Copies of this chain bind each other. A is one copy, B any other.
C-alpha cells in the first residue's frame, strides 16, 4: 500500500541535469514525472487496457518499477486523468464570451480559436473519447460545464444580438441549445477527424473556425427568432 517512494523531501538537491533522461538512476520526483508524462501519451494511444509491460518498455524501465511509484495500474490511470483534465479551462473565456464591447463574431472566433488550440490536442481528445466509451463520469461533468459556461452564454449573447428577450424573461429551450451544440460540435468533429480518424486536413484551422462562425452567425437569426417565439408561446 505504498503510495510513492519514501523520500519526498529530497528534490533534486544541488543542480542535477534539468532533463536527466539518460541517467541510470533518477531522482524519484523526476522519475515519477517521467513515468506520468509517458503514461499520458501511452494510454492516449492504446487506451486504458494498454499493458503495463509495454508502457515500461516505452519508458525504458522494467515493469515492476512502475509499482514502486504507483500501487496499482488503476492509481496510475487516475493520476493520468488528473494530469490531462486539470487546468485546461481558461477562466478568461467566460468573460470573453459575454464581453459586449467586442462584436459577437470576434468573440466567438477568438474563443473557438483559443479553445480548440488549448483543449483539442491528441491526448485530450483521445482520452476523452476513450473514457466516454468506457462510461467514466468525467465526460458528463465536463459537458455539463460546457453547457453552463459556453452554450447557454452563447445563446444569451445571440439573443441580445438579435434583440430577443433575455433568458431571464424566457428560458433557453432545448432546440435553442441544440443550435449552440451544432456550432460547438462542428469544431470538436474537426478534432475527431484529426486525432481519432487520423485524417490530416491541409486547411488552416483558424480560417476554418472563422468561416464556420461567420456562417453560423449569418444564418442563425431567423431560426433562432422563431424558436424563441415558440418558446414564449409555450411559456405563457
Chain A residues in contact with chain B, CB under 8 A? 47, 49, 126, 129-130, 132-133, 135, 139-140, 143, 174-175, 177-179, 181-186, 188-190, 192-193, 196-199, 201-204, 207-208, 211-212, 214-223, 227
Chain A to chain B: the 4 pairs with minimum beta-carbon distance, closest first: A219-B219, A185-B189, A218-B219, A182-B186
| Residue in A174, A178, A196 whose Cβ sees the most chain B Cβ within 10 Å | A178
| Residue in A185, A222, A223 whose Cβ sees the most chain B Cβ within 10 Å | A185
| Chain B residues in 8 Å Cβ range of A135 | 198
Can you list 16 A-B pairs, Cβ within 8 angstroms, ordered by A?
A129-B133, A135-B198, A140-B197, A143-B193, A143-B199, A174-B203, A178-B201, A178-B208, A178-B212, A179-B212, A181-B186, A181-B190, A183-B186, A185-B189, A186-B186, A188-B192
How many copies of this protein are present in the complex? 2
| Residue in A135, A204, A211 whose Cβ sees the most chain B Cβ within 10 Å | A211
| Chain B residues in 8 Å Cβ range of A183 | 186
Chain B: minimal CB distance from A204 (Å): 7
Say whether chain A's binding surface is mostly helix, strand, loop, or mixed.
Answer: helix
**B223 adjacent to A218 (CB under 8 Å):** yes
| Chain B residues in 8 Å Cβ range of A202 | 174
